[in-house]
Amino acid sequence: METMVRLCVNNRPLGDQGIRGVRREFPGRVTVEPCVGYCGECCTDAFALYKRKLITADDPEELLILLREQIGEMRSGDIK
């Protein structure tokens, strides 16, 4: 299973619980890295990189919703 979601361990708005939530939601598809190069977002927004695309949200719950939508679009695109 390919890694699709990258998280920064320093992303304060996402926090430890948010990281655990994303990892639980997408097992085997998430990597948590010391830095993913989006330091400005680390301080202001919960964020993830999904297939190299920056996904930002106001909080961890919204980020999960956005990731579900992105991954759902990819899955439905694979079915066609």
Note the pLDDT tens digit of each residue in 54-77.
999 999 999 999 999 998 876 665
Number of domains forming the structure of the chain = 1
Report the alpha-carbon distance of residue 63 to residue 65 in Å, rounded. 5
Q: Where are the alpha helices (DSSP H) in 7-55?
A: 15-25, 39-44
Residue numbers of the domain that contains 12: 5-79
What are 6-39's pLDDT values in tens digits?
A: 999 999 999 999 999 999 999 999 999 999 999 9
